[in-house]
């Protein structure tokens, strides 16, 4: 088991896109992060992994395996809050 830090780029109730400095060798892994003050740990399967030479990072898209309904609701709520904040920012509020 290898631990590494990454930056979450995009998330939905079914998957995520993130970047990290090391390649993930396994097809399946555990993604752990904090969202809305809740520690979340999800089993994920890699859909795409590519090296971004310009930024010297690996960009990884994955889908989540067996997400429970409570975690799905937490993710959906976080995405909704982020979307609303972005709209307000764009409207100059």
Whether the predicted pLDDT of 2 surpasses 80 = no
The answer for residues whose C-beta is within 8 angstroms of residue 65's C-beta and 6 or more apart is: 28, 42, 43, 44, 45
Whether the predicted pLDDT of 4 surpasses 90 = no
Name the β-bridge partners of 15.
Answer: 63
pLDDT in tens, 17-67: 999 999 999 999 999 999 889 999 999 999 999 999 999 999 999 999 989
Whether the predicted pLDDT of 93 surpasses 70 = no
- DSSP assignments along 10-76, one per residue: EE-SSEEEEEESS---SSEEEEEEEETTEEEEEEEEEEEEEEETTTTEEEEEEEESS--HHHHHHHH
pLDDT score at 92: 80
pLDDT score at 43: 95
């Amino acid at each position: 088991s290898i631990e590494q830090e990454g930056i979450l780029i995009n998330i939905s109730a079914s998957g995520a896109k993130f970047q990290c400095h090391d390649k993930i060798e396994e097809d399946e892994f555990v993604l752990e992060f904090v969202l809305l003050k809740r520690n979340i740990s999800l089993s994920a399967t890699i859909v795409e992994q590519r090296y971004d030479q310009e930024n010297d990072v690996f960009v990884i898209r994955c889908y989540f395996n067996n997400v429970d309904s409570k975690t799905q609701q937490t993710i959906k709520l976080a995405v909704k809050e982020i979307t609303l904040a972005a709209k307000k920012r764009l409207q100059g509020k």
